[in-house]
Structure 1
Amino acid sequence: MAAIYTAPLTRFPRGLKIHGLNLNIECNAELSKRAGDARPTNRRPGTITSSTSRKMLEQNTVCQAATEVRSELDPDPNADLRQGIADFYDASSEVWEEIWGEHMHHGFYDVSAQDVSLCDHRAAQMRMIEETLSFAAVPGEDESKRPKSIVDVGCGIGGSSRYLATKYGATVKGITLSPLQAARANALTAAASLSNKVEFQVADALNQPFPDGQFDLVWSMESGEHMPDKEKFMKELVRVAAPGGFIIIVTWCHRDLLPGEVSLKPSEQELLDKICKAYYLPAWCSPSDYVKLAQASSLQDIKTADWSDNVAPFWPAVIRSAFSWRAIAGVLRSGWKTLKGAFAMTLMVKGYKQGLIKFAVITARKPA
């Protein structure tokens, strides 16, 4: 019999799946409204309302309880890290969406771009998706060769998932550690009339709830940096990829070590450690480390690129947007985890300028 968790004040949104727990959880109308489901309204679908904060705090209580139950049932060394990641995105996703929209990743810019507007930044985020697909040579013109089944590993609130589903007419499964993100992603998807194609659930990228060989395209946009076991992460991406399927990883890395180096400089490691504490990251790796993992998995057509110059305008833009009154209010409302992340943004800029942080793209195909 399925275990039943009932919250005293509120419950999870309908349809929210949590991999690793058999939770039979119902929905109340209040939280469905908070998630922004597709009810008739004169506001833009998915728009945040003034009552969102209070409702978010209510749901966070339930989300935390469920995560703690999951940790008790499945104890492991990375449980605290997973909890921290989930809590961080539960707390910060609302303010990010309010300022930056549905895409929770870097934008791709012309290297000569200067003084671009917020609209330009949002366009750059969608350009990042297109540039990544082009780099990986994912078919788009020939309908018979387009990916028909996609997994978005570390899906955020589903921006990439909905974009890919619309572009290819594919079905998309998105997974995240954040219950709030999964609920919000499903609500925005319903508002976009894509629920028949796109679905989100809470699950661990290192233990995905999918059968072997299910997906033509395995998509990981800026989630690899959260993975405590990069080897297991790669193996899991390969496992769920269909024969001949594309595997795409876009992630934060540290620079490759120079000949004769056995580690980063102490000052470099100190900077990365500070960023790790703010964004709940385990140990970093280099682009070359990912290539070696892909080779060890016998992947084909392995390609990698350093797009650090192309994302250079992004973090300064995020910092500027954080100083608007609207953003300041949102960050303070979201709590200490989001505030700590905001302070760490200057560390990201410093890391990029030093050449320490690399924005890497790694693509490959599983043998047919």
Structure 2
Amino acid sequence: MDRSSIVEYYNKSRNAYKDAWGLEKYMQLNLGLWYKNTKNLAQAFENLNAEVAKRANAEEGDTLLDAGCGVGGTSIYMAKNHGFEAHGITLVPQQAADAHENAVLEKVSHLTDFQVMDYCNTSFEDEQFDVIVGIESICHAPSKKRFLTEAYRLLKPGGRLVLAENLQAKEKLTPTEYDQLYTYGFNGCKINSLDTENQYLQNLKKIGFREYECEDMTRHVIPSVRRLRRFYYPAWLYNQYRALIGKPFGPTELANTRMCYYLYTGIKNGLWSYGLIRAVK
């Protein structure tokens, strides 16, 4: 998936994220984590950020790289709650602008910086960061190993890498399973490949990380995936209405709508999972 396709997706789906996912209020573009006492999406987002901070061994003054930062939600959380000096990077200029505005509103602009940059090929110096996080963003990389290699270069000795990631749950897929997972599912958000847990762990080992683990959190994202399925039905009807009045949506919007249906199918059929990956340089 090329860079321009990813930028187009996030630009065209910006309003959908505002309406369905509270983007302006919560500043998050992820599934969150739902526990027994979680009452709403805002709490699910808080849970995920807290889990990431815990695995990062967050300490005040740490330097953070938020790889694929979206509109800055996690960077801002880390700056506000843990005193991180947070640097967020994204391919999408509009997201970088939104992130800067959000940081000003949340009064942490002095602790944050947002730039348009490819997280697989950054301009940062070697060993610059104490912590690198990626929140459902590394799945966009054509080569996840290439990102992991860049993250290793950027981390200080003892630095921590924490990823909240969608994972392919099966080593091999049948043609039908491939269509469910990618053609009708993740391709809707411009993702055409996911690594398995084993691929991540093996690559972390090969690159040189001295500690690496992945905790399966799949059951804790299912409520959000169900929420997407529920949004599919009114979105599909709206798409039909637009077509009837001669103002149809384009392929990006239609694929995004279809994805809302098939992500639930895929996770229930055991085709993808959700993991929290932690590694130490």
**What TM-score do you get using the length of structure 1 for normalisation?**
0.68
Matches within 5 A, 1:283-322: 283-321=193-231
Kindly provide the amino acid, as one letter, of the partner of residue 176 in structure 1. Answer: T
Q: What is the CA–CA distance in structure 2 between the aligned matches of 1:226 and 1:341, rounded to whole Å?
A: 15
Equivalent residue, structure 2, for 1:362: 277
Deviation (angstroms), 1:256: 4.0
Deviations 1:88-146 (CA, angstroms, capped at 9, x unpaired)? 01121233134423111012112x57xx76xx111111101112333x2x335xxxx44
Deviation (angstroms), 1:265: 2.1
Compute the RMSD of aligned alpha carbons: 2.4
Deviation (angstroms), 1:284: 2.0
Deviations 1:296-332 (CA, angstroms, capped at 9, x unpaired)? 112122111111111110022234356679xx69xx7
Q: Does 1:239 align with 2:153?
A: yes
Deviation (angstroms), 1:154: 0.6
Q: Which is bigger in relative contact order (C-alpha 8 A, separation at least 6)? A: 2
The runs of 5 or more residues in structure 1 that have no matched partner are: 1-79, 258-262
Matches within 5 A, 1:137-152: 138-140=56-58, 145-146=59-60, 148-152=62-66
Q: Does 1:180 align with 2:101?
A: no
Q: Does 1:279 align with 2:189?
A: yes
Count residues in correspondence: 268
Matches within 5 A, 1:69-218: 81-99=2-20, 100-101=22-23, 102-110=27-35, 120-134=40-54, 136=55, 138-140=56-58, 145-146=59-60, 148-218=62-132
Matches within 5 A, 1:325-364: 335-336=249-250, 337-364=252-279
Selected match of 1:249 from 158, 163, 169: 163
| SS, match of residue 284 in structure 1 | coil
| SS, match of residue 313 in structure 1 | helix
Contact 2:228–2:261 (CA under 8 A) maintained in structure 1:
no
Change (3 A) 1:94 1:195: farther
Question: Quick check: which one's helix share is greater?
Answer: 2
Contact 2:231–2:260 (CA under 8 A) maintained in structure 1:
no
Larger Rg: 1
| SS, match of residue 199 in structure 1 | strand
| SS, match of residue 338 in structure 1 | helix
Q: What is the CA–CA distance in structure 1 between the aligned matches of 2:57 and 2:7, rounded to whole Å?
A: 34
The runs of 5 or more residues in structure 2 that have no matched partner are: none
Change (3 A) 1:322 1:353: closer
Contact 1:91–1:334 (CA under 8 A) maintained in structure 2:
no
Q: What is the CA–CA distance in structure 2 between the aligned matches of 1:334 and 1:159, rounded to whole Å?
A: 32
Deviation (angstroms), 1:334: 11
Kindly provide the amino acid, as one letter, of the partner of residue 80 in structure 2. Answer: T
Deviation (angstroms), 1:276: 4.0
